[in-house]
């Protein structure tokens, strides 16, 4: 049985209960193929979804590989082609297009290595406490506790040859530079593998953010007087939740933007930009976002 074949990795995952329907984003790389296989091994009713961003001529070759491997273990398959034009913020636009196809509840093949990279990327964005928590573990990221070496080992155990995406070497993408340059440099400076350290730091930040979030639930983020009177960390947590809910932002709001909004609440400014076209303003001691 597949569950017995992959048991040593399966026990580390956070898949939903057996019988649950699970859409998995599967590109054909080792991480997403391992996600698909482990999802089936966990007893989920898996549908592998391949999204071709139209950036490479061999996108359909990947799709056929995923379809064949999905069929071999009893998983369903879907594919979609999205048109993402070259230009600024390509990485973010590709991610947004992919999630639009996958849907909000789909599982992705992010690993501990991705978690460490996300923490570093969020630091480069000027993140606050929420961003330091990186990605939230759970059914949407069921293999977040595994390393890339684990996903490669899963594929090797199954006799699968993952597709190697040449764009993973493209220095135009920030994550590739973090992966290929910054993490190895940190390993060298620390004299050890820093990924577990960064993952642990992210967990501590999430725990702290969760505690602040509980306090922040009682705070009305549109009440300028209440925001100004509250501890700054609690006010920032309330604003994080409010701004992300109102704008649909898929990543934490950077701490500089939160600071600007707190200045608006305190009366030091009438309005402030928070991200891509969104603006928070104050009128009669109430904040609004548009």
Q: How confident is the model at residue 23 (pLDDT cuts 50, 70, 90)?
A: very high
* Token pair for 22: 């699970």
Asked whether residue 88 carries a pLDDT value surpassing 90, the answer given is no
CB 107 within 8 A of CB 26: no
Q: How confident is the model at residue 87 (pLDDT cuts 50, 70, 90)?
A: low
CB 81 within 8 A of CB 59: yes
Q: Which residues contact 180 (CB under 8 A, 6 or more apart)?
A: 169, 171
Antiparallel, parallel or unpaired: β 21-25 and 45-52: parallel
Distance CA 106, CA 32 (A): 12
Range 215-218, long-range pairs (CB < 8 A, 24+ positions): 216/241
Q: What is the dihedral of CA 109, 115, 116, 121, to 10 degrees?
A: 100
* Token pair for 33: 């193929």
Find the mean pLDDT for residues 124-143: 91
| Total residues found in the chain within this entry | 290
More confident call, 288 vs 102:
288
Q: What is the pLDDT of residue 242?
A: 92
Find the mean pLDDT for residues 194-219: 93
Per residue in 222-255, pLDDT (tens digit) is: 999 999 999 999 999 999 999 988 888 877 888 8
Tell me the range of 144-158, 199-213, 270-284 where mean pLDDT is highest: 144-158
pTM of the model: 0.82
Q: What is the pLDDT of residue 86?
A: 63
Query: Please, what is the average pLDDT of the chain?
Result: 90
> What angle, rounded to 10 degrees, do the helices at 183-190 and 112-124 form?
100
* Token pair for 106: 């789909």
Distance CA 58, CA 269 (A): 52
Which contiguous run of DSSP H or E holds residue 68? helix 59-72
DSSP of 180-231, one letter per residue?
Answer: IIIHHHHHHHHTS--HHHHHHHHHHHHHHHHHHHHHHTTS-TTBHHHHHHS-
Per residue in 24-68, pLDDT (tens digit) is: 999 999 999 999 999 999 999 999 999 876 666 666 888 899 999
């Amino acid at each position: 049985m597949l569950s017995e074949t992959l048991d040593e990795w399966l026990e580390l995952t956070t898949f939903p209960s057996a019988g649950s329907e699970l859409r998995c984003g599967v590109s054909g790389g080792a991480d997403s193929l391992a996600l698909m296989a482990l999802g089936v091994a966990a007893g989920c009713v898996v549908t592998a979804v391949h999204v071709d961003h139209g950036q490479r001529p061999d996108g359909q070759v990947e799709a056929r590989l995923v379809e064949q491997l999905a069929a071999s273990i009893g998983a369903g398959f879907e594919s979609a082609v999205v048109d993402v034009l070259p230009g600024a913020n390509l990485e973010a636009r590709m991610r947004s297009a992919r999630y639009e196809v996958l849907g909000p509840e789909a599982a992705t093949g992010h690993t501990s290595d991705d978690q460490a990279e996300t923490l570093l990327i969020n630091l480069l964005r000027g993140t606050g406490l929420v961003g330091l928590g990186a990605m939230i573990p759970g059914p949407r990221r069921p293999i977040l506790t595994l390393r890339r070496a684990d996903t490669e080992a899963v594929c090797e155990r199954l006799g699968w040859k993952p597709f190697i995406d040449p764009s993973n070497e493209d220095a135009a993408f920030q994550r590739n530079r973090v992966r290929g340059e910054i993490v190895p440099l940190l390993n060298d400076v620390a004299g050890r593998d820093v990924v577990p350290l960064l993952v642990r730091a992210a967990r501590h930040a999430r725990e702290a953010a969760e505690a602040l979030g509980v306090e922040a639930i009682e705070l009305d983020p549109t009440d300028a007087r209440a925001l100004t009177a509250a501890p700054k960390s609690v006010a920032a947590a309330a604003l994080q939740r409010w701004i992300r809910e109102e704008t649909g932002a898929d990543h934490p709001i950077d701490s500089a933007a939160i600071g600007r909004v707190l200045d608006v609440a305190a009366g030091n400014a009438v309005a402030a930009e928070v991200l891509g076209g969104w603006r928070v303003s104050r009128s009669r001691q109430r904040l609004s976002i548009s």
